[in-house]
Amino acid sequence: MPENQIRVKFEPQGRVVSVLKDSKAIEAAARAGLTIDTPCGGGGRCGKCRVRLITAAGVPNDAECRELSAEALSQGWRLACQTTLEADAVIAIPESSLFGSHHQIQVASDTGHCGDLRPAVRKEYVELPPPSLTEDAPDLLRLENALGPFDIQLPLVRDIGPRLRDGAFRGTAVLAEEELIDFEAGNTTGQSFGAAFDIGTTTVVGTLLDLHTGSERAVVSRMNPQTSFGDDVLSRITHAGASSENLAALRDAILGEVNVMIAALCADAGIRREEIYEITFAGNTTMEHLLIGINPAQLGQVPFVPVCARGIARPAAELGVHIHPRGRSYVFPVIGGFVGGDTVAGMLATELPELESPAFMVDIGTNGEIVLAHNGQLWAASTAAGPAFEGARISCGMRATRGAIEKVVFDGGVRCSVIDDAPPAGLCGSGLIDAVAELLRAGIVTSDGRMLPPEALPEGLPGELRARVRRTENETVEFLLAPGVALHQRDVRELQLASGAIRAGIAILLKQAGLDVTELKHVLIAGGFGSFIRRNNAQRIGLIPPEIEHTRIRYVGNTSLSGARWALLSTQSRRRAEELARRTKHVELSTDMDFAMEFAMAMRFPD
Amino acid sequence: MPENQIRVKFEPQGRVVSVLKDSKAIEAAARAGLTIDTPCGGGGRCGKCRVRLITAAGVPNDAECRELSAEALSQGWRLACQTTLEADAVIAIPESSLFGSHHQIQVASDTGHCGDLRPAVRKEYVELPPPSLTEDAPDLLRLENALGPFDIQLPLVRDIGPRLRDGAFRGTAVLAEEELIDFEAGNTTGQSFGAAFDIGTTTVVGTLLDLHTGSERAVVSRMNPQTSFGDDVLSRITHAGASSENLAALRDAILGEVNVMIAALCADAGIRREEIYEITFAGNTTMEHLLIGINPAQLGQVPFVPVCARGIARPAAELGVHIHPRGRSYVFPVIGGFVGGDTVAGMLATELPELESPAFMVDIGTNGEIVLAHNGQLWAASTAAGPAFEGARISCGMRATRGAIEKVVFDGGVRCSVIDDAPPAGLCGSGLIDAVAELLRAGIVTSDGRMLPPEALPEGLPGELRARVRRTENETVEFLLAPGVALHQRDVRELQLASGAIRAGIAILLKQAGLDVTELKHVLIAGGFGSFIRRNNAQRIGLIPPEIEHTRIRYVGNTSLSGARWALLSTQSRRRAEELARRTKHVELSTDMDFAMEFAMAMRFPD
């Protein structure tokens, strides 16, 4: 282990990450895929992000002394946004500190926002009176008398008689909404699982949840295999639209991956596929169309009209997903051709419309979706940011997996945090933002995005940094971050495009609402690429307008996945998602002249 | 054509039958499968059974002169229960005179009973605004704005985008309850069909209805192919219960036949299978279980508990029936193990619970189901009458098809009416009842069911009848009805069993309700065997208690099919069926000691 890296283990999840020494606890947690909620923007003022250091805790700072009792401090409780980690540590994160957790769902039900733990699937153990000559009601009526009226598919109708008799008329009914989907021997009410998936253009993340307790049992992340057909949304639309074989190939690719991931989740949690009774999916409009098998060709043509609008609740088998044979699936509602279910899920999980307004959410993925909430109104738009933030189109780019540089700090020299503490293999999104921000600060990259050649570098630049700037064979310039990992001039250009598109979108939505950027009370940065976005760096490169006060910005993690999880755990959340999707005004940027102007201006990094 | 037969053609159905000269018009119509309604019991007092003779009409009788205007009489209008046919005739039957007709459904809606013509499937032609940048709602939302919210299966979701565009956003939506099942090019609102089936133990009848007008377009009747596995319900239960292969064979047999019959209906009406959007099924509990594929083994064991209770509304494809790929199916609710959907359908179509009470319905099929309605209460029971009335277990028995003797009159000699005027090939149910009634009257059969040998025949017996009584090789006696068609002693025994079981059941239900048989205001005789039951003969053999006044008895035809038709044409009727099934008290006779006593007594023919 390099001396500037430390190992941090999180309980009860058992996840271990290596991060740079002196990282904040919240940053290390994000690296482990655990998004800690910071309603106050990490200012140490709300006390929501409390965690307990099981290994020796450092000296508490003023904020911690104010927010936590002496007893709590002595037990190792600290604020994740304040405490810095100087050595290997083991940290316990209470569920209540996690963003979008089950606990939040239960708590939030008091305020009526997002519903309590009430999945569409419920189990009920019943003991029915066995039939006799005086009690000769038909089997299904006998069940209805115990459970209330239900729908039932014929395969189960065919099976229910023997099952009732084999179990002496006792067993566990499995109900999905109004349908009886199974009747299991014995009392299995404690065994009930669901899966929630975020289908990103580049990355697919799936999580297995215990529907009885709401807790997460396993999580798995993979590359979207459709990437081999094109790395952005438009190339997939073009490919799928060319022939029905292509469409089928794209659908098969994602379905196959989802089914493999379900198998992985089951293996990880030690459960059977048949114990998963429901699965929810959030993704952008194109990803959802491809998952369902809808030809997305019309998404590639003005006026970019999707087929689906409301969420699609159908049997999982009809979708082609292998869970319980009569399990259910739910695909999130969409807002428009390029503002999809992932954005709806994000609004749901962040409770954006309930925050003090105006509030903004930016979801940084292959597309950059932005949502503005103000005085009860909602606007949403999508910017074709491209997959740079997920490592694509960057010469040494990679997803946030083992070997990816996920954090870069210039401290005279260059310090890199590498995922899994492996030899550096490339650069993921958060590392890219850090690197360019630092290069801008060091004056190696100029505001117009030019990487200065060795002879034009600023005079005061430390020698160690200067030595890393090199001319390449084709006469452009690169900056060596680590052995074999260099950032090229054209990588900076890609970042300019991606972040410029998002910032221009932000500007247009604010203009539509008649707001100035400084009026924003909340800016939520969501992103499914598995790492932490450092606000100061995001502002340095202009991804987030630099005028926004630091503490108003919050990193909220993969909100698409959080929303999919909420919809799985709470039917009330699902209804809320449907309502949000229909309430939100869709702003089409691609045909907006103003946007083109703003985009051109936003290509320049802030001075 | 033998001189005592005449040919009668019915319009607009175009059906032709041959019947005995001097038959009533109502009898000839029944022979053609057209049940004319006679609320007054055929007494010529209600004027409901009016028909128009297109060929020369005979002299009207007193009742006709009272019920019909002079103008109507001059146009050939007569009462079907009064007018006798002396020569070949062409008769027009207005829809309003048919039992259980669409017309009745519409008329009855005024009184709130059985609902107007409102099938679960409806078509709506829509012209949607085509998408534009200012009108960029998703396709399905665009449809919902025109149609209201709907459910939709994924195959149609996948197809809807291109269909909308190919048709310039115009076309016909096909909705089944809450589900959009298709979107067709152009305006097809006039083309909408459904099928209604009666699945009898012995006979299966299917009819194709125009859902737009409610009128019948084709009808087809076949032997239930499961008969080869056993001719009564219990033998099928035993066979199916023995192995899952047997069960599958029985299910495949009936499903295959239904699908062949659907093809025949389509061919007959000149429509495509895909234009049938819904199919309804009524049958006894075992037939319905086998159709669905439920092992009926538990129906063969005390306490004879069925699996299904409520009607099963599922996609037709799930049932295995080939209509529109997303068409719907509805299988009638059942009351108990041996009182099934056919009985519920009968109660529905006869409006038994609304008749002046006490009212009785007897459905004479392979099982004899009986229902008593009194002061808002309903009791139902089933008697294992056996398939004698459908021609089985009778030495020369056959179904009511070509060549069957369907009417027998002794007038010194023997006059037989043969279906299709073919050479006599056997005896169907109505012919069997007639023959035994006449044999009883002639004294050839005694009240205890013995067929007297030639030497013991009454003295005054006409010579032509006497000559027909013969000893057989094995020393029993037979009566020759026609060349090659003889009634044997053991056939009389079968009829005693069948009719005794039904009469004993009637006695038990009356006892449960504390009623005497003479108090009955209405007795409805239903039967799906395609011919007319002559009340006097049914009473002579004791199938219907002889104490009941003649005009209180009505023949109402295949009420199982009528009910299936109503459920197809009216969702209100369907809800009514569900309510009737649950309201009716199921009386189990097979374990009732009283029934065994009554049965023993009812085996004797009335003196």
Mean pLDDT value of segment B203-207: 93
pLDDT-derived band at A105 (thresholds 50, 70, 90) equals very low
- CA distance to A47, A76, A90, A147, A395, per residue, from A55 (Å): 21, 8, 6, 50, 40
Neighboring chain A residues of B344 at a CB cutoff of 8 Å: none
Cβ within 8 Å, pair B305-A586: no
CATH number at B294 reads 3.30.420.480
Neighboring chain A residues of B157 at a CB cutoff of 8 Å: 292, 294, 307-308, 312
Neighboring chain A residues of B292 at a CB cutoff of 8 Å: 154, 157-158
Neighboring chain A residues of B584 at a CB cutoff of 8 Å: none
pLDDT-derived band at A100 (thresholds 50, 70, 90) equals low
Cβ within 8 Å, pair B310-A154: no
pLDDT at res. A106: 41
pLDDT at res. B3: 66
Which residues lie across from B208 on neighbouring strands? Answer: B195, B218
**What percent of chain A has pLDDT above 70?**
96
Cβ within 8 Å, pair B293-A158: yes
Together in a domain, A154 and A231: no
pLDDT-derived band at A444 (thresholds 50, 70, 90) equals very high
Retrieve residue A436's tokens.
Answer: 């360019």
What DSSP assignment string belongs to A444-480? SB-TTSPBPPGGGS-TT--HHHHTTEEE-TTS-EEEE
Kindly identify which residue of chain B lies nearest to residue A134, measuring between CA atoms: B303
Retrieve residue B34's tokens.
Answer: 């057209």
B167 to chain A, minimum CA–CA distance in Å? 15
Cβ within 8 Å, pair A336-B303: no
Mean pLDDT value of segment A260-272: 97
Indicate the number of domains in chain B: 5
pLDDT-derived band at A3 (thresholds 50, 70, 90) equals low
The one-letter code for the residue type at A68 is L
Together in a domain, B314 and B209: yes
pLDDT at res. B36: 86
CATH number at A88 reads 3.10.20.30
Neighboring chain A residues of B588 at a CB cutoff of 8 Å: 133, 136
Nearest beta carbon to residue A318 from set B131, B135, B153: B153
pLDDT at res. A104: 46
pLDDT-derived band at B246 (thresholds 50, 70, 90) equals very high
Mean pLDDT value of segment A427-445: 94
| Model confidence at A110: pLDDT above 50 | no
A140 to chain B, minimum CA–CA distance in Å? 6
**Per-residue model confidence as pLDDT tens digits over B582-591:** 999 999 888 8
The 3-state DSSP composition of chain B as helix, strand, coil percent (nearest 5) reads 35, 25, 35
Higher pLDDT, B282 or B96: B282
| Model confidence at A111: pLDDT above 50 | no
Cβ within 8 Å, pair A153-B318: yes
**Per-residue model confidence as pLDDT tens digits over A216-249:** 899 998 989 999 998 889 999 999 999 999 999 9
Residue A607 domain-assigned (yes or no): no
> With contact defined as beta carbons under 8 Å apart, do B287 and B243 qualify?
no
B122 to chain A, minimum CA–CA distance in Å? 22
Q: Chain B within 8 Å of A345 (Cβ-Cβ)?
A: no
Taking alpha carbons only, the member of A519, A524, A553, A523 closest to residue A536 is A553
Residue B338 domain-assigned (yes or no): no
**Per-residue model confidence as pLDDT tens digits over A286-300:** 999 999 999 999 999
Last residue of a domain, which of B492, B526, B547?
B492
Last residue of a domain, which of A184, A209, A232?
A184
Kindly state the DSSP code that residue B400 receives in the 8-state scheme.
S
Higher pLDDT, B299 or B3: B299
Q: Chain B within 8 Å of A408 (Cβ-Cβ)?
A: no
pTM here?
A: 0.86
B148 to chain A, minimum CA–CA distance in Å? 13
pLDDT-derived band at B578 (thresholds 50, 70, 90) equals very high
| Model confidence at B194: pLDDT above 90 | yes
Residue A106 domain-assigned (yes or no): no
Together in a domain, A308 and A199: yes
Tell me the C-alpha distance between A588 and A536, whole Å.
Answer: 29
DSSP-based three-state secondary structure for A308: coil
Together in a domain, A377 and A499: yes
pLDDT-derived band at A385 (thresholds 50, 70, 90) equals confident
Dihedrals phi, psi of B150, to nearest 5 degrees = -145, 160
Kindly identify which residue of chain A lies nearest to residue B133, measuring between CA atoms: A303
Residue B346 domain-assigned (yes or no): no
Q: Nearest 5 degrees, angle CA A425-CA A430-CA A435?
A: 75
pLDDT at res. A436: 96
pLDDT-derived band at B113 (thresholds 50, 70, 90) equals very low
pLDDT-derived band at A4 (thresholds 50, 70, 90) equals confident
Tell me the C-alpha distance between B426 and A79, whole Å.
Answer: 95
Q: Chain B within 8 Å of A140 (Cβ-Cβ)?
A: yes
Higher pLDDT, A110 or B302: B302
Together in a domain, B93 and B161: no
| Model confidence at B106: pLDDT above 50 | no
Neighboring chain A residues of B162 at a CB cutoff of 8 Å: 295
Cβ within 8 Å, pair A139-B337: no
**Per-residue model confidence as pLDDT tens digits over A10-54:** 988 888 888 888 888 988 888 887 888 887 878 888 888 899 999
Residue B340 domain-assigned (yes or no): no
Mean pLDDT value of segment B138-146: 95
Kindly state the DSSP code that residue A421 receives in the 8-state scheme.
G
Task: Return the exposure string of A167-194: e unless at least 16 CB atoms fall within 10 Å of the residue's CB, then b.
Answer: bebebbbbbbeebbbbbbeeebeebbbb
Higher pLDDT, A314 or A215: A314
Rg (alpha carbons) of chain B, rounded to whole number? 25
A323-332, A469-478, B36-45: range with highest mean pLDDT: A323-332
Instruction: Write out the residue range of the structural domain in which residue A565 sits.
Output: 351-387+495-602
Cβ within 8 Å, pair A136-B588: yes
Residue B210 domain-assigned (yes or no): yes
| Model confidence at A530: pLDDT above 70 | no
**Helix (H) or strand (E) segment spanning residue B597:** helix B593-602
What DSSP assignment string belongs to B67-112? HS-HHHHHTTEEETTT-EE-S-EEEE--GGGBTT-HHHHHHHGGGT
Counted residue by residue, chain B has a size of 607
Nearest beta carbon to residue B154 from set A144, A162, A293: A293
Q: Could you tell me the strand order of the sheet in which B151-152 lies?
A: B121-127, B170-176, B179-184, B151-152
Together in a domain, A313 and A432: no
Together in a domain, A151 and A43: no
pLDDT at res. B142: 95
Tell me the C-alpha distance between B123 and B163, whole Å.
Answer: 16
Last residue of a domain, which of A491, A522, A547?
A491
pLDDT-derived band at B393 (thresholds 50, 70, 90) equals confident
Residue A458 domain-assigned (yes or no): yes
Place of tokens 């139902």: B380
Together in a domain, B218 and B318: yes
Nearest beta carbon to residue A292 from set B158, B310, B336: B158
Higher pLDDT, B94 or A102: B94
Together in a domain, A87 and A160: no
Residue B173 domain-assigned (yes or no): yes
- CA distance to A258, B358, B549, B552, per residue, from B517 (Å): 69, 9, 10, 12
B537 to chain A, minimum CA–CA distance in Å? 36
Together in a domain, B209 and B322: yes
- CA distance to A142, A281, A481, B502, B525, per residue, from B340 (Å): 17, 43, 79, 16, 17
Higher pLDDT, A1 or A325: A325
Q: Chain B within 8 Å of A160 (Cβ-Cβ)?
A: yes
DSSP-based three-state secondary structure for A235: helix
- Other CB atoms within 10 A of residue B314 CB: 18
Together in a domain, A324 and A207: yes
Mode of pairing for the β-strands spanning B121-127 and B89-92: unpaired
Which residues lie across from A194 on neighbouring strands? Answer: A209, A278
> With contact defined as beta carbons under 8 Å apart, do A292 and A319 qualify?
yes
Q: Chain B within 8 Å of A178 (Cβ-Cβ)?
A: no
Nearest beta carbon to residue B161 from set A158, A298, A318: A298
Mean pLDDT of chain B: 90
Mean pLDDT value of segment A327-331: 98
DSSP-based three-state secondary structure for B149: coil
Tell me the C-alpha distance between A513 and A381, whole Å.
Answer: 13
Q: Chain A within 8 Å of B139 (Cβ-Cβ)?
A: yes
Together in a domain, A377 and A430: no
* Helices B244-269 and B233-242, axial angle in degrees (round to 10): 120
pLDDT at res. A2: 58
